[in-house]
Amino acid sequence: MTQNKLDSDIQEERYRAPALDKGLDILEKLADTEEGLSQVEIATALGRKPNEIYRMLDRLVRRGYVVRTNLDSYQLSLKLFELAHRHLPMRRLASQSLSHLREFSRQSQQGCHIVIYERDGLTSIAQSDAPGYWGFGIRVGARMGLLDTGSGHVLLAFSSPEDRQFMIAQSAECGGELDASLQQRLLQVREQGYEIMPSQQVEGVFNIAVPLLISGDNAIAALACPWVKHLDHMNSPACETVLQLLLKTAGHIRNGTHVD
């Protein structure tokens, strides 16, 4: 062993944080597992005794990083996912999407916005206004519900079963479960790849929403347009045309395509 390697090992040992390492080991192990793991299974995988990780698991559950299922197993929550959304990647998504949002608004004559899941609801992180002297839009930072918006339906439909269950459990709207009609609606949204529905907040507005996909078929965000019919412009694009423009825009954002 060289002196430099020895010095490095001594330095690493000096600044060890065993409790932190134990917690990170648990999070990393759960991140590698699609199904939940019991306390015994986690301990075995980490080469520890079950009583060694009991308190750490309890703290991770209480802080919301891990959830305990009905089967007495543990799974990662979406809290790390939410923390990542508050940081640079989401700001980058917002800034790099603006040119695409503006081009969509120019072609569709409609406003649009991007929303993400955050803290038991939806948050708008980017938006573009309709180009005319009037329009309907959602301001950046606005909070929306999961169950009564097109964006919420898209994010629920394009999420893993574990992530969906977490979002449902955290939502004050649904009491921890979805009714059969909404479950069927989410299956339809997933199959067709978008949601179109009358706004449940404003009469005469239709919510059009499509997923921004990452990691297979799971959506990290939704791109949405609150479509309104322009009576003062006879050539205003129809709802179906706007949907196709929205799908095209989502593809450009996902692929990093430059706006001409």
135 pLDDT tier (thresholds 50, 70, 90): confident
Asked if the structure places residue 97 within a domain, the reply is: yes
Rounded CA-CA distance 177/11 in Å is 50
- The residue range of the domain holding 184 is 83-255
Taking only Cα atoms into account, the Rg of the chain, rounded to an integer number of angstroms, comes to 22
Distance between CA atoms of residues 215 and 86, nearest Å: 19
Q: Do 18 and 69 have their domain in common?
A: yes
- Domain of 66, CATH number, reads 1.10.10.10
Query: Of the candidates 47, 76, 105, which is a domain's last residue?
Result: 76
CA distance 68 to 249: 39
Question: Could you say which of 45, 76, 107 is where a domain stops?
Answer: 76
For residue 184, what is the domain's CATH number? 3.30.450.40
Residues 130 and 68 grouped into a single domain: no
Longest dimension (CA), the chain: 80
- Pair (65, 129) in one structural domain: no
**Which tens digits make up the pLDDT trace of 245-255?**
999 999 999 88
Same-domain pairing of 16 and 89: no
Using the predicted structure, report yes or no on whether residue 51 has a pLDDT greater than 60: yes
101 with 69, same domain: the answer is no
**Of 176 and 131, more confident:** 131
- Is residue 90, in this structure, part of any structural domain at all? yes
Helix, strand and coil in the chain, % to nearest 5: 50, 20, 35
Same domain? 133 vs 241: yes
Question: Which position has the higher pLDDT, 8 or 64?
Answer: 64
Query: Do 182 and 230 fall within a single domain?
Result: yes
Number of domains, the chain: 2
pLDDT value for 107: 94
Predicted structure pTM score: 0.66
Above 60 in pLDDT, residue 85? no
User: How much is the average pLDDT of 145-155?
Assistant: 92
In this prediction, residue 223 has a pLDDT band, given cuts at 50, 70 and 90, of: very high
Q: Who wins on pLDDT, 69 or 151?
A: 151
Q: How far is CA 136 from the centre of its chain?
A: 24
Same domain, 125 and 221: yes
Of the pLDDT bands very low, low, confident and very high (cuts 50, 70, 90), residue 176 is low
Reduce the DSSP state of residue 222 to 3 states and report it. Answer: strand
Which one of 19, 49, 76 terminates a domain? 76
Q: Which of the four pLDDT bands, split at 50, 70 and 90, describes residue 89?
A: low
Q: What is the pLDDT at residue 6?
A: 45
Condensed to tens digits (0 to 9), the pLDDT of residues 54-76 reads 899 999 999 988 988 877 889 88
Is residue 260 in some structural domain? no
- In the prediction, which pLDDT does 170 show? 75
Q: Degrees (nearest 5) of the Cα angle 244, 246, 252?
A: 105
| Average pLDDT of the chain to the nearest whole number | 84
pLDDT at 82: 66
Are 194 and 227 within one domain? yes
